[in-house]
Amino acid sequence: LTMTASHTITCLLTTALLLSSCKPEIVEVKPDEPTNPQKHETITLGGGCYWCVEAVFQQLDGVISATSGFMGGHIPNPTSEEVYSLTSGHIEVVQVVFDPQIISAPEILKWFWKAHDPTDPRGQGVDKGPIYMSYIFTHSPKQRELAETSKKEAQTNFDAPIVTTIQDAEEFYAAKEEHQDYYFRMKGENPYCPQQITPKLKKLGLDY
């Protein structure tokens, strides 16, 4: 190689290293596992923006899947326009499928209370409005009983009253694919992620 060519290659390699060092760290999140109705349970949680809630629960051992979507409305198969114009009545939720042999429903609920402010009747953080309200949609009478008990126990950790609504699960509508696994795919592109979600994950001692 000539001196000029060698210098050019060195500069290109240095630039590549600098660019790679500036890229955000990509945290590998375990993929969703096949759901087994005989072994697994489902609970659906609303705690503000579903990107935030998903980023918490998809990391927990024993969680099979965490899917962002909508629940609680009165229009079947709502469009995004119907949801966000507040005409469908749906809220943003994450449907969590978990293995109770690894993580119990009460443990899931403890994470839920820690992962958001259940005393805010207006929503969460910068996300305000009815679609960001605190909700627990239960999938069995036993689960509802556990949720009510968990809510009473969690109240001792808050000065203001918990405003979380607990009700039976309704039809779940998954959000579009581009909204799934959002934080870990988009944290280097959407400023919302490092500004709103990263501090939450750091506080909870989770990967970010």
Select which of 11, 22, 49, 193 is catalytic: 49
Residues 6+ apart with CB under 8 A from 22: none
* 85 three-class SS: coil
Residue 3, C-beta contacts closer than 8 angstroms, at least 6 positions apart: none
Give whole-number Cα distances, 105 to 27, 140, 150, in Å. 26, 11, 10
Decide if 193 is catalytic. Answer: no
Radius of gyration of the chain (CA): 20
**Three-class secondary structure of residue 65 per DSSP:** strand
Q: Which residues are catalytic?
A: 49
